[in-house]
Structure 1
Amino acid sequence: MSSSTAQRRTKVLHAIVADYIARQDPVGSKALLERHNLKVSSATIRNDMAALEAEGYIVQQHASSGRIPTERAYREFVDSIHTVKPLSQAERTAIVSFLEGGVDLEDVLHRSVRLLSQLTRQAAVVQLPNLAVAHVKHLEVVALSPLRLLLVLITDTGRVDQRNVELDHPCNEEHVAKLRDVLNQALAGRTLADASVALSQLADPQGQQQRLDPEIHMFALRCITVLIETLLEQPNDKIIVAGASQLAKATQHLSHELLEALEEQVVVLRLLANAQELGQVQVHIGQEDSDAGLPGASVVSTGYGAQGATFGGMAVVGPTFMDYSGTMSKVHAVAQYVSRVIGGE
């Protein structure tokens, strides 16, 4: 096959994919000639379509119908998209103003998936921060009463956890200040796993007990127990979903399958786990990976984070006939702005 024939068939394939995405109707040779400037005869187009069908790029549902793209066709189409087109100034301004209204990281993430769903008219998901990369930023210790303390643990990924600590003996403000200093020395700057080890060492009577002022020893042990048992536990990864009802615009069968996958979260989390490079958009089409596939659906994903570290992934989930170029640009833009907001830029 000559290079000119290969280039023409690629152009025909892209035209079929574009038409099917726009209309969700099988595409025939006559429609291609009417809608696209292909500059060849209808017989040539029919021959090209027959070749593309033989190669597994398009299928014919029945003898008299046009063709529809296969997952292989969508993959070739997506791989031909070399740059992510920028959004308009109005779109960028709307994204920034909406995301900057978030009160904390989780609120920003809730806003991001709602926004992505509205922009793409598909379902959107975002993974809450990956705690494996989280570092303790600060522990605040507040005296609610002489016999009750409030611990507020803050990580650099924006996670904030609060726990009460009940005491057997009254604790004054001087004790609270000493507790805050000692515990932060053990926690600040460490990953959650390393911080848990440091707290265990601090409480070890055989090793590090001498580091604890006798006046706060019992208070510190109570705080350490609460921190290790609750605050430093790493919960299962979770995702936030918005716009699942948008899937009702797809076929009823597809909508049901996607809703089940979103509810179970396992498949989506597996796909998001691969979206760990900031600024890089990935497209997963249908069942390309049988272990993490969504039949009839595509996932456009990327990572978000701050200071070069990826906190998690975000994605749009929809039918394989989604607008790939537009969806890729919107996912890329929203992730970039989320990263800027949480990075304080």
Structure 2
Amino acid sequence: MSNERRLEVLRAIVQDYVSTSEPVGSKALLERHQLGVSAATIRNDMAALEDEGLIAAPHTSAGRVPTDAGYRVFVDRLSQVRPLTPSQRRAIQAFLAESIDLDDIVERTARLLASLTQQAAVMQYPSLRRSRVRHIECLAMTPTRAMLVAILDSGRIEQRTVEFAHPVAEGDDFVARLRERLNAETDGLLLAEAARGLSLLREAFEPERRADVDAVVETITAVFGEEREERVVLAGTANLARAGTDGLHVQPVLDALEEHVVILRLMSNLAEDAEAHDQVTVRIGAENPHEGLHSTSLVTTSYGPDAVAALGVLGPTRMDYPQTMANVRAVARYVSQLIES
């Protein structure tokens, strides 16, 4: 659409409908907004918007509601995402800062998003295949046993034990040298790259220690190569029941959410599509590939270093898009900072 006034009328209709959940008429637009035109002009603009499929009459009344296409035009023309207040930012930061591990971060983030938006929140666990090695610790537990701890930039921590064929004598710096070489070969690499980089590590050690080095490398390589079942965490699904009067077909949505593989595939695709930090993706109505989600909008963004996963909220198409987008982006920023710290 090229007519800026009609776009302003569309914006006003979206805002009023989101606020009141009632169809919006020309009289209400004149009373609530300074559009600077007559009632007849607004009626003409509304007729043009309806012809273009951006608004529709839910029943025989003077009021109109936005269509999915109307919401799309509104979202695409948002000049900026509404900023959060300082108190909101402090509350988010304080709540997430109390997390004790990755599982707690994910659970808290999902609950926080659901509370902030009053929608259903979805958070994908960080993907191993997109994670990088931050540090590998090798700790001697006994002369013949060591603990390996792999710390990833996604916040994941993997622990394994390994048995040495030859005891490590007191004063032998084998474990310290092994730790140093492990980190030199893997630091900052994706897991698949790190596994390949360890293949020749044995050559850096004396022959009598190479069997032990092989055991360590085999253990770490196995961890890096594991195929893990990716997971998503949901929170606030009860909010969907309260949104049932907003044109949301609740049961198909709940059925889709129960199929975690469907949600996981959707979130994975969105994370890959939004690798640039701060990019918020909005899928409205039938833009969602799963038929059960056609009465919803999904607002998501990626989080973590290298956009390792996605988080977001799902609710009726009648939602406060600027505020929801701001909440999703702000929470993703704080989660990323927490994981990277």
In 1: Cα distance, 2:209 partner to 2:179 partner: 11
What is the percentage of aligned positions where both structures have the same residue?
A: 45
Between the two proteins, the alignment pairs up a number of residues equal to 333
Q: What TM-score comes out, normalization by structure 2 length?
A: 0.84
In 2: Cα distance, 1:342 partner to 1:305 partner: 7
Residue 49 of structure 2 aligns to a residue whose secondary structure is helix
- Kept in 2: contact 1:33–1:42 (CA 8 A): yes
Aligned residue in 1 for 2:320: 323
- Specify whether residues 8 and 211 from structure 1 end up closer, same or farther in structure 2 by C-alpha distance, changes over 3 A only: closer
Shift of 1:170: 4.0
Shift of 1:336: 2.3
In 2: Cα distance, 1:242 partner to 1:138 partner: 32
Q: What TM-score comes out, normalization by structure 1 length?
A: 0.84
Aligned residue in 2 for 1:159: 156
Deviation per CA, 1:52-90: give whole Å up to 9, x if none: 211101122333463221111001111221112221121
Deviation per CA, 1:83-118: give whole Å up to 9, x if none: 122211211111121122223445334322322221
Aligned positions of 1:262-273 closer than 5 A: 262=257, 263=260, 264-265=262-263, 266-273=265-272
Which one of the candidate residues 199, 210, 218 is aligned to 1:225? 218
Task: State the AA in 2 paired with 1:230.
Answer: V
Residue 138 of structure 1 aligns to a residue whose secondary structure is strand
Task: State the AA in 1 paired with 2:14.
Answer: V
- Specify whether residues 74 and 172 from structure 1 end up closer, same or farther in structure 2 by C-alpha distance, changes over 3 A only: farther
- Kept in 2: contact 1:277–1:302 (CA 8 A): no
In 2: Cα distance, 1:128 partner to 1:158 partner: 10
Residue 63 of structure 1 aligns to a residue whose secondary structure is coil
- Kept in 1: contact 2:123–2:234 (CA 8 A): yes
Which one of the candidate residues 249, 253, 258 is aligned to 1:254? 249
- Kept in 2: contact 1:178–1:216 (CA 8 A): no
Aligned residue in 1 for 2:10: 13
Task: State the AA in 1 paired with 2:71.
Answer: Y
- Kept in 2: contact 1:14–1:77 (CA 8 A): yes
Residue 111 of structure 2 aligns to a residue whose secondary structure is helix
In 2: Cα distance, 1:39 partner to 1:189 partner: 58
Deviation per CA, 1:104-156: give whole Å up to 9, x if none: 44533432232222111112223333444433222212233444332111123
Aligned residue in 1 for 2:85: 88
Which one of the candidate residues 89, 98, 102 is aligned to 1:101? 98
Which one of the candidate residues 319, 329, 334 is aligned to 2:331? 334
In 1: Cα distance, 2:100 partner to 2:83 partner: 27
Deviation per CA, 1:8-42: give whole Å up to 9, x if none: 32222222211221122323334334433445454
- Kept in 2: contact 1:161–1:231 (CA 8 A): no
Task: State the AA in 2 paired with 1:134.
Answer: S
Aligned residue in 2 for 1:200: 199
Deviation per CA, 1:255-310: give whole Å up to 9, x if none: 3333344333222322232221112223222223648993122222223335xx43
Higher mean C-alpha deviation, range 104-113 or range 324-333: 104-113
- Kept in 2: contact 1:59–1:67 (CA 8 A): yes
In 2: Cα distance, 1:188 partner to 1:164 partner: 20
Shift of 1:160: 0.9
Shift of 1:218: 2.2
Residue 316 of structure 1 aligns to a residue whose secondary structure is strand
In 2: Cα distance, 1:230 partner to 1:256 partner: 40
Task: State the AA in 2 paired with 1:274.
Answer: D
Aligned positions of 1:1-345 closer than 5 A: 6-64=3-61, 66-167=63-164, 170-172=167-169, 174=172, 175-202=174-201, 209-233=202-226, 235-251=228-244, 254-262=249-257, 263=260, 264-265=262-263, 266-288=265-287, 290=289, 294-306=293-305, 309-344=306-341
Task: State the AA in 1 paired with 2:44.
Answer: N
Residue 134 of structure 2 aligns to a residue whose secondary structure is strand
Shift of 1:333: 1.8
- Kept in 2: contact 1:287–1:293 (CA 8 A): no
Task: State the AA in 2 paired with 1:139.
Answer: I
- Kept in 1: contact 2:150–2:159 (CA 8 A): yes
In 2: Cα distance, 1:292 partner to 1:279 partner: 28
In 2: Cα distance, 1:228 partner to 1:311 partner: 20
Any gaps of 5 or more consecutive residues in structure 1?
203-208
Higher mean C-alpha deviation, range 9-18 or range 249-258: 249-258
Task: State the AA in 2 paired with 1:212.
Answer: F
Higher mean C-alpha deviation, range 245-254 or range 274-283: 245-254
Any gaps of 5 or more consecutive residues in structure 2?
none
Higher mean C-alpha deviation, range 254-263 or range 63-72: 254-263
In 2: Cα distance, 1:292 partner to 1:256 partner: 12
In 1: Cα distance, 2:129 partner to 2:322 partner: 32
